[in-house]
Structure 1
Amino acid sequence: MSLSHQQKVYIPKEARTNQYITAEIKVTDELLNQYPDYHSCYQTLSRIIFNLAEQHDLRNVHVITNDKLPVVRYHTEAYCFQTAEQILFFYNPAYHEAQNLFTADNYRARKLRIVFLATGDEIRSNSANFHTRVQEFLNELMPKLPIKDLKVKIRDHQHLSYDLFAKSKGNKETYGYKLRAIAPRYKARKCELPENVSSLTYVTVSLPLSRKLKQGLLPESATDFSPLYQHLEDNFLKAAANKQLTRLAMIANGLTPLVRNSKFEKLDSKAEVQMIGFDPNATEQQVIRRWDADNLVEAAHFTIVAGAKDCDDAGYGRFMNNVEAALKSFAAEIGLDPEREDLVTRFHQHISYQL
């Protein structure tokens, strides 16, 4: 196989792209003391944010003051659901626009989080322009706040999601992506980033635990589900090892996995979220397993994280081709039917820095 071919990954043309950026501002006593109460603080700041967002042509912007975690997914219709710890945004970047304040009565937020959802067409190719507009927005916003020298944490999330079995279902058309790291992509488009940027790239797959999977491995009325989980774990680790993929996680405890760089992030799991941390620069194998033999969950989540050597200027093509090969081998071993079942694969790129 030629080097140029190895550096590309051929992804179904109907693959979905998402981008969203969060700006996190710590809520201090000094900031709150500028207002009569929490409600006045959040309402006043959100009005400033929404008015300024319109001036910068940022059309889907949300302010979160209840400390819930934003989760963003593509959907043909716009929905927003709140759980105890998360806010789930479903939307189509091509035509959905919105402004919302998410707050709670008499609640003191630890941070004020602004969520910018990318809109328009060609999300990936326009990602640097979107990031630049958010930077310009924040540079104009900060002097308008009543307290100076507030710190802002920026997180830029980009997803590329598709069914690994699209071709088996007759969707033959593919597009050759030469996937590149965010920093060089942005630099080529005149979007400046600071030097101390933390970055992480990974792939996630959620596997519904179907009746067929459970019936093949568990006796009727089973209360010990370890044979199912151990079977999935063993086959996942085996398939990954065959492609020299060493930063891995299997989460099957009912929690939503949240991937972070363990070198820079404090990892605190909550009631709904399982924090999992990886150091992409570490050379030793990193495997995280979180499942409970007494608890049968609806889905198992698998994560494969790229190492520093996978993120050079040549792109992520070789990494993604190895990931796809490993996932297809895993799927075959556990008996998934490519023509009838989906295996949605999400390629994530994430950067964060202090503004």
Structure 2
Amino acid sequence: MGLIRDQDIRALAVAVINTEMQAVAQLADRIDDQFVMACHLLLDCKGRVVVIGMGKSGHIAGKIAATLASTGTPAFFVHPAEASHGDLGMITRQDVVLALSNSGNTEEILTILPIIKRLGVPLIAMTGNSKSTLAKLSTAHIDVKVEQEACPLGLAPTSSTTAALVMGDALAISLLQKRGFTRDDFALSHPGGSLGRRLLLQVSDIMHQGAEVPRVFDSVPVSEALLEMTEKKLGMTAVVDHNGYVIGVFTDGDLRRMLEKSLDVHLTPVADVMTRPCTVIQADILAAEAMQIMETKKINALLVVDENKNLQGALNMHDLLRAGIV
């Protein structure tokens, strides 16, 4: 074998990506009545979606099953070879079978087809061969044919598995939308790790409350606001009236701008140099939304108010970091 140059490696990699991009782009024309029928079969399923596939298609089938399950469509993967040795008992008459096979003639899948048909279970086939046995015997057939594999030998499943994976995502997200599956529903199935924290945590769970919230009246001098900021350590203080209504906020940035004007911190009322109106949020929004607001507004802290704009709490970027939102 001759010496492979770095530019050859890059060229090969780009060729693979371009080939698979073309395969994926062609899938848009396959979203037809058969795809819609498959969606209806899955939506009407009273049991679970049983996803099967051999070899590389089996790996893709497992991922599709996981995506369906996490987006509101109960699903699990069954290995077709194991199915013929007892695992067929996992399939009930209430289920729907989604079978993946690029050739549409995978022996292990065809072996169990008579049992699936005997149960009267709807069969959705996802193949690259619309004339195959699996396609012909299916209730709905989704065509994922590709012009060529990205493998230069034309042997390793590459473009074909990518196409099947993308079509599986198209199914899952179509079902998610049709079911009205919400962000809260998604959170309930992903309670662990940073994803769960981002989806489940509300501002009320992490905000400072009560005596921890920095606040001063609008009539006090800046020096008093500075003492409050120093004690509460949030880099700002709320400025409120005597009923707790938020008038504005005094921040480190306001202090810097004030000092540039050579104003006296002991004589200048905080109301003269505070930021007003200020950005506020309510306690029942997601902490992840608070993070987005901070990033958009380029600020490091937020005041939390009720529906009447009375002060309820406060949080800053460090609180979000500690909660694992960032």
What TM-score do you get using the length of structure 2 for normalisation?
0.22
Higher strand share: 1
Look at both structures and tell me which one has the larger radius of gyration over its CA atoms. Answer: 2
Higher helix share: 2
If asked which structure has higher relative contact order (CA below 8 Å, sep 6+), I would say 1
